[in-house]
Chain A
Amino acid sequence: MFLLLPSILIVLLLDFYPIIYSIVISFQKRSLFDISGVFTGFKNYFLIFTNPNFPTLLKNTLVWTLGTTFFEVSFGMIIALLLNRDFKFRNLARALIIVPYAVPVIVSTLVWKYMFNDLIGLINYILQVLKIASQPIAFLASTTFAMMVVILINVWSFTPFAVINTLSALQNINPELYEAAKLDGANPWQEFKNITFPSILPILIIVSLLRTVWNFQKFEIIWLTTKGGPINSTMTLPVWIYSQGFESFNIGYASSMAILMFIIAIIFAILYINLFERMESRLQ
């Protein structure tokens, strides 16, 4: 049993202790450089709920989390369906489509920022050639477009996750089902509706939930692209926590928000684990 000791230590030292510490700090007025904080009760929590930007933060987090997850899973499904056929260089196509998953976040944000640049960016050039835009658009300085750009970067990076998982579910479908459907004279749409989609639905739900949990807490893409701006239009909860903590050094305030986030995340995580186990036992 002593073999389990290192892993238990990791969990106690790197997960439990920080979370409890965070709860303590969330009741304090404390700067990042203070040795200890001043107990202020629920004041930080009160400040959060009365912060006029709080609704915007929640809205942005919701748009970001659901937007990224929705596009990742739907593109993932479509691409997996396209790949799940016999064609030349199928393995090459598959390999190239999942490459973005290995691209570090600093690289994806830099490259996309370069392409979305308002003065020299390729995307503005294409939009003008196609006569979609008459003027170059400053995407990252625009409160309407900035969120779309960060969502796009996330979708580009993480759609491969949905592709791979959907593809493996597709490959597990019993081919006899399709043969039987052909004999019954089913058309491709009926095949999809009655065989393919129900078979991959469990994995689509699991992937959606897992991506929701991760996208909810994802912070790097937004931070490295817009820092939450312009005028808070891409400010989500994790980005706000990081900037409160490490730019304003207001860790008491930041921690109270972190604890709220933690509670939401834990609810999702437990939901996920329960759902996953139920589906697993149904498959067996």
Chain B
Amino acid sequence: MEKSKTKHYIMNIMVWIVVILTVFPLIWMILSSIKQPEEVYSYPPIFFSKDPTLRHYIELFKVTNFEKYFINSTIVTFSTVVITLFIVVMTCYTITRFKSKGTNFLSKLYVLIYLLPQVVMVIPIFLMMKRFGLINSLYSLILTYLIFTFPYAFLLVRAYIGSIDQSMEEAAMIDGASRIGAFIRIVLPIAAPGLIATSIFVAIMCWNEYLFASVLTPSEEFKTLIVGVAGLTEKTGIPSWGMLMAASVIVVLPMIVFFMLIQRRMVIGLSAGAVKG
């Protein structure tokens, strides 16, 4: 008994070591973002600023187009989530309710598409958007992001809608409800928590996207946060680490909030494609 207690104790210590190592880069980021400029560059490095300051944050909004980037990212993320969800719910409902060889094939095809390399698409997509005159337009991003948000959301939502018992819908339809009525009153409320979790996962994906955003919206006015912040490091030869850490804090913050909101549903979102939901 004594021995297993010690073992338990050692394992607990190991857990917290892992936790500290995992979270440390983020803590370092926050601590550095509120240091004085000379403290950011001091060697040996210091952990806690003697005189914490928000000057890097203020500078960030003054010197760069950070506000613009933030707004662009928000528009793209929000629009993509709404469109993805709308299309995916339609698709999944049809595929799970009208089973046939055709829908079965589509279902497989969408899973396959989830695994295709995006870097293969980036050149043709760029040329396509150029032809449509959509370079330097947020529309190009919203449209292109469907490449990865659609198959991902499809995997998640198919599991939610597929697991809903069809007999309730059928009963409602016998009672005179239309198919759409039955869908809205029975399927949607049951699937709602899953759909909200899916939206958040899709939002995280869009917010974090770099590949397509870096080529489709090169002009300052249409840059997303990720590309904008990446640009900050390129423009100035020697990056101002204080400002970059402040930018990082702001970029990561909404994601952490989203993440905490879906804590309990984490398993489902992370295991899309790996575990049947």
Chain A residues close to B by CB (< 8 Å): 1, 3-4, 6-8, 10-11, 14-15, 17-19, 21-22, 25, 32, 79, 82-83, 85, 87-88, 91, 93, 95-108, 110-112, 114-115, 117, 119-122, 125, 156, 160-161, 164-165, 167-169, 203, 206-207, 210, 213, 216-217, 219-220, 223-224, 238, 241-242, 245-246, 251, 254-255, 258-259, 261-262, 265-266, 268-270, 272-273, 276, 280
**Measured between alpha carbons, how far is A210 from B270 in the docked complex, in Å?**
12
Q: Does B90 contact A (CB under 8 A)?
A: yes
CA distance A129 to B199 in the complex (A): 46
What distance in Å separates the Cβ of A91 from its nearest Cβ neighbour in chain B? 8
Contact A85 B245, beta carbon cutoff 8 Å: no
Could you give, for residues 225-257 of chain B, a 1 whenever the CB lies within 8 Å of some chain A CB and a 0 otherwise? 110011001000000010011001001100110
Contacts of A125 in B (CB 8 A): 43-45
A-B contacts, 25 of them at CB < 8 A, read A4-B90, A4-B94, A6-B91, A7-B106, A15-B116, A15-B121, A18-B125, A21-B128, A87-B11, A87-B12, A98-B266, A99-B23, A102-B255, A161-B270, A165-B270, A168-B267, A206-B275, A219-B119, A245-B123, A246-B214, A255-B123, A261-B119, A261-B120, A262-B120, A269-B112
Ranked nearest first, the 4 interchain pairs of A and B with the lowest CB-CB distance are A217-B117, A18-B124, A269-B115, A21-B124
Judge whether B45 and A122 touch: CB under 8 Å. Answer: yes
- The reply to whether B252 and A103 contact each other, CB–CB distance below 8 Å, is yes
The dominant DSSP class at the A interface is helix
- Which residues on the A side are within 8 Å of B222 (C-beta)? none
Total residue contacts A-B, CB cutoff 8 A? 247
Q: Is B111 an interface residue (CB 8 A)?
A: yes
Look across to chain A and name the residue whose beta carbon is closest to the beta carbon of B43: A120
- Whether the Cβ atoms of A97 and B19 lie closer than 8 Å is yes
Contact with A along B35-47 (1 / 0, CB 8 A): 0000011111100
Contacts of A254 in B (CB 8 A): 123
Determine the distance from Cα of A265 to Cα of B118 in the docked complex, in whole angstroms: 11
Knowing A103-B255, A156-B25, say if A11 contacts B18 (CB, 8 Å). no
Given A11-B109, A82-B18, A87-B12: A265 touches B116 (CB 8 Å cut-off): yes
Complexed CA–CA distance, A207 and B101 (Å):
28
A11-B110 CB under 8 A given contacts A87-B12, A104-B252, A125-B45: yes
- Most chain B CB neighbours (cut-off 10 Å) among A25, A93, A255: A93
Q: Which residues of B contact A (CB under 8 A)?
A: 8, 11-12, 14-16, 18-19, 22-23, 25-26, 28-29, 32, 40-45, 87-88, 90-91, 93-95, 98, 103, 106, 108-113, 115-128, 143-144, 146-147, 150, 154, 204, 207-208, 210-211, 214-215, 225-226, 229-230, 233, 241, 244-245, 248, 251-252, 255-256, 258-260, 263, 266-267, 270-271, 273-276
Partner of A6, one of B16, B44, B90, B244: B90
What residues of chain A lie closer than 8 Å to B214, measured between beta carbons?
Answer: 246
A216 with B208: CB separation less than 8 A: no
B150: which of A10, A32, A120, A156 is its contact (CB, 8 Å)? A10
A99 to B119: give the CA distance in the assembly, Å.
26
Write the nearest CB–CB distance from B158 to chain A, whole angstroms.
11
Query: Of A4, A14, A115, which is within 8 A of B147 by CB?
Result: A14
Contacts of B248 in A (CB 8 A): 106-107, 110-111
A228 to B250, alpha carbons, bound, how many Å?
27
Contact with A104, one of B146, B255, B275 (Cβ below 8 angstroms): B255
